[in-house]
Amino acid sequence: MKKIFILLIILLVLAFMADLIFGSVIFSLSELWEAITGNPEAYIQREILLNHRLPKALTAILTGSGLAVAGVLMQTLFSNPLAGPDVLGVTSGASLGVALLTLSGISLPVLNYLSGWSQVIAAILGASVILLLVIFIAMRVRQIVSLLIVGLMIGYFTGAIVSILQSISNPDTLKLFVTWTFGSLSAVGWDQIKVLFLFVFIGIMGSLLLQKPLNALLLGQNYAQGLGFSIKKLRMLVLILTALLAGTTTAFTGPIAFIGITTPHIARGLFKTSNHRIVLTGSICCGAIIMLVCDLISQLPGLQGTLPINAVTALFGAPIIISLLLKK
């Protein structure tokens, strides 16, 4: 397992360096080094690196790791290999929260006062409300397929509300929201990265502290209760952490699909275990690597502009989900 972790760390470093080098302007290794060390002759490269590529690469790492951990939590809680923040409606809830804030024209004094945090708060509230609804229904529905159908219906319902808001909004706010829904890692600046890092760090650390109860939950709720773990408390903690991770990443980067579903399966496949001490850490590394690679693909040389990151992750994740279903 140590060799696999070392390999993942090496791949993470290589993907991070590649994300700094490649773009509309390709840096050589010497130019990258001069930009990092602050060589006055590499002023333009340094500006590109510090103000665009480095924040984007860090955002990819935070987003990928956060969504991956959220996916692990959801799959364990629901005992469902296809569960994730997007499939069960959490991402749709975050999008609805941002849509209500952006498109409805409603102005709340509290959100105006917290202008830098308003989008984050709206996304977290939207994700929390939807996830609470899913948890409420999950306690009454035993069939996994039924729960997935409920998640899809919630997604359709929130999508309908967003569509109505889009139809009555003005063109300027509509353009902003539609651009946000494409997903982008390049819109996050240094001030926003601090906020994103804080929430993702809290979410990941909180998840790592739940390793033992999550491992017990793999063997069933009765077994976990027999070991002294409170299922209700565990559900609430998972709810809060998932909403925190999915809500904040969606607020800053837009809705990004499939990372939360596919990454836990990749980690389990690599390490051949379901132990959350390994799976959570492995998912953090895999999620960060996948997002960096997807970001590289979205800005391949020769492309005019940048592809929506949400489209790239879907192209990556959908075949993995299909292969998983075929194997089952």
Write the pLDDT tens digit of every residue in 79-111.
Answer: 888 788 777 787 888 888 888 888 876 655 555
Dihedral sign for Cα atoms in the order 270, 21, 197, 136: negative
Phi-psi map region of 89: left, alpha, beta (phi>0 left; psi -120 to 50 alpha): left
Q: Do residues 127 and 260 make contact, with C-beta atoms less than 8 angstroms apart?
A: no
pLDDT in tens, 268-282: 999 999 999 999 999
CATH number at residue 255: 1.10.3470.10
pLDDT in tens, 12-41: 999 999 999 988 778 888 888 888 887 777
Q: Do residues 45 and 28 make contact, with C-beta atoms less than 8 angstroms apart?
A: no
Please tell me the distance from the alpha carbon of residue 84 to that of residue 320, in angstroms, as a whole number. 14
Residue 280, burial from CB neighbour count under 10 angstroms (0-12, 13-18, 19+): buried
Question: Which residues form the domain of 120?
Answer: 2-327
Phi-psi map region of 220: left, alpha, beta (phi>0 left; psi -120 to 50 alpha): left
Mean pLDDT across 298-302: 72
Phi, psi at 221, each rounded to 5°: -65, -40
DSSP 52-96: IIHHHHHHHHHHHHHHHHHHHHHHHHHT-TT--TTTTTHHHHHHH
Q: Do residues 122 and 180 make contact, with C-beta atoms less than 8 angstroms apart?
A: no
pLDDT of the residue at 6: 95
pLDDT of the residue at 40: 75
| Number of structural domains in the chain | 1
Please tell me the distance from the alpha carbon of residue 316 to that of residue 328, in angstroms, as a whole number. 20
* pTM, to two decimals: 0.88
Length of the chain counted residue by residue: 328
pLDDT of the residue at 265: 92
Q: Kindly give the interhelix angle for 276-298 and 309-327, rounded to the nearest 10 degrees.
A: 130
Average pLDDT, the chain: 85
Comparing 135-139, 170-174, 299-303, the range with the smallest average pLDDT is: 299-303
Which pLDDT band holds residue 10 (cuts at 50, 70, 90)? very high
Which pLDDT band holds residue 294 (cuts at 50, 70, 90)? very high
Q: Do residues 45 and 27 make contact, with C-beta atoms less than 8 angstroms apart?
A: yes
Mean pLDDT across 105-124: 64
User: Is residue 54's pLDDT more than 90?
Assistant: yes
Q: Do residues 104 and 87 make contact, with C-beta atoms less than 8 angstroms apart?
A: no
Residue 225, CB half-sphere, CA atoms under 13 Å: how many?
Answer: 6
